[in-house]
A and B are shown apart, each in its own frame.
Chain A
Amino acid sequence: MAELSYRDAVAAAIAQEMERDERVVFLGEDVGGAGGVFKTTVGLLERFGPRRVRDTPISELAILGAAMGAAMTGLRPIAEVMFSDFLACCWDYVANEIPKMRYMTNGQFTMPLVIRTANGAGSRFGAQHSQSVENWAMAIPGIKVVAPSNPADVKGLLAAAIRDPDPVVFFEHKSLYATKGEVPDGEHVEPLGAAKVLRRGSDITIVALAAMVPRALQAAEILATQHRIAATVIDLRSLVPLDAQTLLAETVRTGRLFTVEENPRLCGWGAEISSIITEECFFDLDQPVVRITTPHIPLPAADALEDAVIPSVQRIVDEVVRATDFRPRNSHGL
């Protein structure tokens, strides 16, 4: 095990895969010479050369279109879209072209490509550089959606995304880039579509994604020590494929599910999960599913405002306590 930052795990995953597969190429704005505006790809140009690590103009349509054309003709491209907000600039490729080509052509193509993008709030960049848009991608049939919460998962899940024969949008969280964690030595690949139970408690279940995962874990600690509420915490890790079975099993065990979502409320990923839980284990529930989300507003820039609207540790604690009005389910008499 070595300690790596979330940011360095990105380059480590790309390097691992470029090393083993000559078909892997990488393109994007400022990704080569500059090493990425978030310094996530430092050293790749020097190690693999300008033939495989390509700086592009500010042309999101050309970046994703070129990645798609390369994927259709034998390469395994990784395309960086600098901020996930900019996916809107090349949405035709994300929504219309990349995910539909295999289906429309009755299986004539595979589309092994990865769109890496920096998602989420915390940098005080305002409404067009801070959004969490994983739910946009989730709404499209034909594209996989992955969002890691820690350096080991960055490396393992990005490697899996690069090896996957289907297109993957890989949401890296800007506010996690500086965080550190243990990453297994040697080749590290994690399967896509497997949620991870990070903590087990018998009273409630919290499911979170990306930067909301560490917040959910902190909230669980406070709930345990200050409110005597034992929480299970699930890191969802990927929205598509969705590990619904883990969600169902962990919800049935506690009877209470909370989602912690950074995306704005309407049609956030928790809505789909709430729907699945309600349809498939309604009679095992002790209360309605509670969604803790960013309100349905554009993100404000000022730190005081941004902090007030993104789900915080305290808000998670408060919502859980309020919603459960707590009498511990498995501790009668308390």
Chain B
Amino acid sequence: MSTSTAPPALPTALALKTQLALYRLLVELRYCEKRAYDLFLQNLIKGTSHLALGQEAVAAGFGHAMEKDDYTFCTYRGHHHTLARGASMSAVLGELMGRECGLLAGKGGSMHLTSVEHGVMGSYAIVGSHLPIAVGAAWSAQYRGTRQAAVAFFGDGTTNIGAFHEAINLAAVWKLPVIFVCENNLYMEYTPIRSVTAVEHPAADRAAAYGLPSIIVDGNDVEAVYRTALAALGRARAGEGPSIIECKTYRHSGHSRADPAKYRPPGELQAWLERDPLPNYRQRLIADGVPQASLDAIEHTAMAQVDQATETCKASPPPAVATAFTDLWADGGTAWRN
């Protein structure tokens, strides 16, 4: 993968602390997402779910690069982004399971994970809808004179919907601190993105239309994502306007729970599994001299966290029915008449 703009001016080697933090995030996101899949098979998670297995490096790289008060806007495939900003596993899994302990106390579900206290300003289930909303948050940050940036994550399919273009144009015209991050996993739901898109790189090739540089990054390389994120965040905070970043990645499972992904050509999944961000980063760290015991410890801790979160969720009751009638309005109620 190449980057057509100048690489960000960062030290060639990341500090060990940063590397371990990135690895920890990758592991936590992977383990928690796998657990979500298991809980589905046990029918403890109902409804639908869109797993991000294979795409964790994008969330980890950005999640670690962002400041606490930056804004994340993501799609229905957003468990990893929500966790990467610091939401707890029990809150995320609890929401998927429809329990009282869930992030939204069961009122939002898998596709709407939100944690304002962690800067996760919503997961949006209508393709493209959150890009203009992220623009609005960036506009607000600019208006209020803060250093905050908004980051909108979306799939390759989003690049063909009108909201994508309206949002980027407005962000460019108003020079807003917003970063548009495309997770190009090659498939628009069940359809290869290349078969429905006029250009090869669905996000990066559109950047020129808005006077923005074309940036492509290996979305399975957590350090590459992290460096690119830092550069774009720096640009946003410096008042230089928006960025579009296309992360090339791959989802290991189907589009959603309902999709066995039989449309993929033979060998494709295997080839991408060889580029799985997790084992690849592990090997790289070991090759760099990171003690294997440190990595083992991260993995053990993450697995214990997932197990603990699972037990917490199983013990949590379903939400009280009365909560279905709260918080439509700011007064806490749902009344529409006197």
Whether both chains belong to one complex is answered with yes
- Given A96-B126, A101-B122: A106 and B107 within 8 A (CB)? yes
Q: How far is the CA of A251 from the CA of B197 in the complex (A)?
A: 59
Chain B residues with CB under 8 A of A245: 338
Q: A73 at the A/B interface (Cβ < 8 Å)?
A: yes
Q: CB within 8 A of B330: which of A64, A68, A92, A110?
A: A110
Chain B residues with CB under 8 A of A244: 337-338
Binds B, one of A235-243, A306-314, A319-327: A235-243
Interfacial residues of chain B within 81-136, with CB under 8 A of chain A in the complex: 104-105, 107-108, 112, 114-116, 121-122, 124, 126, 129-136
Chain A residue nearest to B142 (CB atoms) is A51
Q: Are B326 and A62 in contact (CB under 8 A)?
A: no
- Given A66-B139, A166-B330: A61 and B337 within 8 A (CB)? no
Chain B residues with CB under 8 A of A59: 166, 169-170
Q: CB within 8 A of B129: which of A51, A57, A92, A165?
A: A92
Least distance between A238 CB and chain B CB atoms (Å): 10
Q: A103 at the A/B interface (Cβ < 8 Å)?
A: yes
Q: Are A69 and B138 in contact (CB under 8 A)?
A: yes
Q: Are B116 and A109 in contact (CB under 8 A)?
A: yes
Q: Are A65 and B112 in contact (CB under 8 A)?
A: no
Chain A residue nearest to B117 (CB atoms) is A108
Q: CB within 8 A of A73: which of B137, B169, B173?
A: B137
Which residue, of B138, B140, B163, has the highest number of chain A Cβ atoms within 10 A? Answer: B140
Chain B residues with CB under 8 A of A241: 335-338
Q: Are A103 and B107 in contact (CB under 8 A)?
A: yes
Least distance between B110 CB and chain A CB atoms (Å): 12
Q: Are B132 and A61 in contact (CB under 8 A)?
A: yes
Q: Are B144 and A74 in contact (CB under 8 A)?
A: yes
Q: CB within 8 A of B124: which of A97, A166, A240?
A: A97
Q: B71 at the A/B interface (Cβ < 8 Å)?
A: yes
Q: CB within 8 A of B166: which of A57, A72, A101, A110?
A: A57
Chain A residues with CB under 8 A of B309: none
Q: CB within 8 A of A108: which of B114, B132, B140, B328?
A: B114
Taken residue by residue from 158 to 184, chain B's Cβ proximity to chain A (1 for < 8 Å, 0 otherwise) reads as 000011001101100110000000000
Chain B residues with CB under 8 A of A165: 329-331
Q: Are A107 and B326 in contact (CB under 8 A)?
A: yes
Q: How far is the CA of A97 from the CA of B332 in the complex (A)?
A: 18
Number of interface residues of B (CB under 8 A): 51
Q: How far is the CA of A64 from the CA of B163 in the complex (A)?
A: 11
Q: Are B121 and A97 in contact (CB under 8 A)?
A: no
Q: Are B336 and A242 in contact (CB under 8 A)?
A: yes
- Given A57-B169, A59-B169, A109-B116: A69 and B137 within 8 A (CB)? yes
Q: Are B108 and A106 in contact (CB under 8 A)?
A: yes
Q: Are A70 and B137 in contact (CB under 8 A)?
A: yes
- Given A62-B169, A103-B107, A242-B337: A72 and B136 within 8 A (CB)? yes
Q: CB within 8 A of B133: which of A65, A74, A103?
A: A65
**B-to-A contact residues, CB < 8 Å:** 71, 73, 104-105, 107-108, 112, 114-116, 121-122, 124, 126, 129-141, 143-144, 150, 162-163, 166-167, 169-170, 173-174, 323, 326-332, 334-338
**A-to-B contact residues, CB < 8 Å:** 25, 51, 54, 56-57, 59, 61-62, 64-75, 77, 92-93, 96-97, 101-112, 141-142, 165-166, 193, 240-245, 276
* A-B pairs with beta carbons under 8 Å apart, 24 shown: A57-B166, A57-B170, A57-B173, A62-B163, A64-B132, A65-B130, A66-B132, A66-B170, A69-B136, A69-B138, A70-B136, A73-B137, A75-B140, A75-B144, A77-B136, A92-B163, A93-B129, A96-B129, A97-B124, A101-B122, A104-B114, A105-B112, A107-B327, A165-B331
Beyond A72-B122, A245-B338, 8 extra complex contacts between A and B, CB < 8 Å = A57-B173, A66-B170, A73-B121, A104-B108, A105-B112, A106-B104, A108-B114, A108-B115
